[in-house]
Structure 1
Amino acid sequence: MAEMFNILLTVVVPIFLMTALGYVLQKRVKLDLRTLAKLNINVFVPGFIFAKFYKSDLAVHLLFYIVIFFLIYIIILYIVALLTSKLQKLDKGKETTLMNSVLFFNSGNYGAPLNDIVFKSDPVAMSAQVIILTLQNVFTFTYGIFAIQSVQVGKLKALLNYFKMPIIYALVIAIILNYNHIAIPGFLWTTVSYLSDAMIAVALILLGAQIANIKLRFKWSSSYIYIVIRLVVGPAIAFVIIKCMGLDGIIAQTLFIASAMPTSVNSSVIAQEYDNYPELAAELVFLSTLFSSITVVVVIHFSHILF
């Protein structure tokens, strides 16, 4: 119990304090979230991904294992969420929003800072987190958009524009430079380091500000079972996959903790953009983030015991 309280105090509380700061700022001064989000996704996140992966010592076979883990994890989650929705006999629109709340987890604004604190900036742990973050972003803006609206005029173009964003290229360049042992000039590394260091604070403040803009209507619903799937069933599935793949150590701990992240704000953003049960999507983001303060502590605690 003492260890779990220590995890809560040293890992989760700092994250929620920064998120709360973003919430208060948004309520008081109305941040320009569109500009802040673009700055984060186009500048700070690529700098962060590049810096962390360039400094990592992640073997190629581990990179392959992480990709395989992610694919299996998402497929099983999809099946669980789909079966749950079919049992509830939901309409297609609501089913999609609820499934997105399970499949899209916050591996960036929440997961990356958490990883940085838990593993004390360990480059291997952060590299694994970066891979999950990149895969999750690609998945969100491909399946996530087309699951709500099939191909329409303009939507495919918007999707293709995603691949013009620098996140993927920052990762690819970092991999090339890392595995070929190509040195980066000091002045350039200093610039990248500044961008990387800014990412965590900006990401958490942005998360809080995004939550502040969510319109909430709390009313008990069977839909909340999807929060349990995201926060409890998700880590249980990840544990089985990790054990079956024979992974252990920091990589196993990283993947296990990453699987416990709350619903991504992007699921609410997509639901709002396409007017597909946006209030429900917003509630699931807020409540899963709130309850994750408990479940994430438990998962971190067991990650030290199980792996």
Structure 2
Amino acid sequence: MLLRIVAILFPLFAITSVGFIVGRRLRPDLSQANKLNMDVFVPALIFGALANKSFQIMEYLPLLGATVVAVFGSGLLGWGVARALGVAPRTFVPPMMFNNCGNLGLPLAVLAFGDAALAPAVVMFMVSNLAHFTFGAWLLDHNIKLSGVWRIPTVIATLGGLAVSLAGVELWQPAMLAIKMLGDISIPLMLFALGVRISESRIGAIRLGVIGAVARPAIGLALSFVLVWLIPLPERERALLIVFGALPPAVLNYMFAERYSQEPEKVASMVLLGNVAAVLFLPVALAISL
């Protein structure tokens, strides 16, 4: 079991470590690469998974509901922890709600549970991503206009993939292959970019960073255990939900905090230390779920 867990996690941390080393030594500007990933490659991955003829959204409704509860339940519990610590909820809550289900979650799902796990993992990413760009943005700025969310490429890809799936349309296989090839670029690029982004982060509040690094997976795992007990899910989806709960804060939390001037140095500490702590928490989640 230990060797299997190491074999699953090694590619993730190896590629992220390469990104970290390159980020430290070469200081590459990945802004355009990250933009291409979020505007082209990740949407292709999402659309390809949802528009696949084997994907049936109705089969994943229980998982979708469980993910919604996991995301917003984590925010509610995070709000309680923030109040107890005397920390601004707008600083602490988003990293508790929105985990790294893209950069780490998608590749981890495929490596741990096979290609068949990509579709349910994309459903979970879809829920978290949509909530982050709507509720997460509103949480940081109540005056924000959410009308532009429908122009975000990942949202467009989600709606397009769901439309194709629900309509029962089978796309031309060469076209699907081209979309899949584009989507395959996204996962290693996400991991590499994650390493570079971590190398650029600075620890500005160690105590809060450590608390956030532990609270995020602790809250997520506790909620996941309750949800898999309450909601009947297939074995693979139960395992994915447990792993989802153990994921660290998303790097996007830091980018949002910086954009809306919500104590970005504290959020950066939680993101940085949380992703480092994933070395401890993800093996535990895999040991439970495998």
Structure 2-normalised TM-score? 0.92
Residue of structure 2 equivalent to 1:97: 91
Q: Distance in 2 between matches of 1:127 and 1:177?
A: 14
Kindly provide the CA deviation profile for residues 249-290 of structure 1, in whole angstroms up to 9, marking residues without a partner as x: 111111221121110001111111222221111111111111
Does residue 36 (structure 1) correspond to residue 49 (structure 2)? The answer is no
Whether contact under 8 Å (2:209, 2:273) holds in the other structure is no
Does residue 86 (structure 1) correspond to residue 83 (structure 2)? The answer is yes
Does residue 235 (structure 1) correspond to residue 232 (structure 2)? The answer is no
Does residue 174 (structure 1) correspond to residue 166 (structure 2)? The answer is no
Kindly provide the CA deviation profile for residues 144-199 of structure 1, in whole angstroms up to 9, marking residues without a partner as x: 22222220xxx42xx43332122223233323333444332243123212102111
Deviates more, 1:210-219 or 1:270-279: 210-219
Aligned 1:206-245 pairs, distance under 5 A: 206-217=193-204, 219=206, 221=207, 224-245=210-231
Residue of structure 1 equivalent to 2:105: 111
Q: Distance in 2 between matches of 1:65 and 1:111?
A: 19
Residue of structure 1 equivalent to 2:282: 296
User: Identical aligned pairs, as a percentage?
Assistant: 22
Unmatched 5+ residue regions in structure 1? none
Relative distance call for 1:99 and 1:139 in structure 2 (3 A) is same
Residue 222 of structure 1 deviates from its aligned partner by 5.2
Residue 237 of structure 1 deviates from its aligned partner by 1.0
Whether contact under 8 Å (2:100, 2:249) holds in the other structure is yes
Relative distance call for 1:77 and 1:190 in structure 2 (3 A) is closer
Aligned 1:1-307 pairs, distance under 5 A: 3-7=1-5, 9-55=6-52, 57-90=54-87, 94-122=88-116, 125-151=117-143, 155-156=144-145, 159-217=146-204, 219=206, 221=207, 224-304=210-290
Relative distance call for 1:98 and 1:173 in structure 2 (3 A) is same
SS in 2 for 1:57: coil
Unmatched 5+ residue regions in structure 2? none
* Counterpart code for 1:20: S
Q: Distance in 1 between matches of 2:16 and 2:54?
A: 31
SS in 2 for 1:72: helix
Whether contact under 8 Å (2:249, 2:275) holds in the other structure is yes
* Counterpart code for 1:99: V
Q: Distance in 2 between matches of 1:108 and 1:195?
A: 16
Aligned residue pairs, count: 290
Kindly provide the CA deviation profile for residues 215-274 of structure 1, in whole angstroms up to 9, marking residues without a partner as x: 22463x256333222112311211111210122311111122112111000111111122
Q: Distance in 2 between matches of 1:69 and 1:28?
A: 42
* Counterpart code for 1:128: P
Q: Distance in 1 between matches of 2:84 and 2:73?
A: 17
SS in 2 for 1:23: helix
* Counterpart code for 1:29: L
Q: Distance in 2 between matches of 1:178 and 1:104?
A: 26
Q: Distance in 2 between matches of 1:54 and 1:254?
A: 21
CA RMSD of aligned residues (A): 2.0
* Counterpart code for 2:121: Q
* Counterpart code for 2:194: L
Q: Distance in 2 between matches of 1:198 and 1:74?
A: 27
Q: Distance in 1 between matches of 2:177 and 2:232?
A: 38
Structure with greater proportional helix content: 2
Q: Distance in 2 between matches of 1:233 and 1:64?
A: 23
Whether contact under 8 Å (1:128, 1:255) holds in the other structure is no
Residue 78 of structure 1 deviates from its aligned partner by 2.2
Q: Distance in 1 between matches of 2:14 and 2:147?
A: 36
Residue 82 of structure 1 deviates from its aligned partner by 1.5
Q: Distance in 2 between matches of 1:111 and 1:52?
A: 15
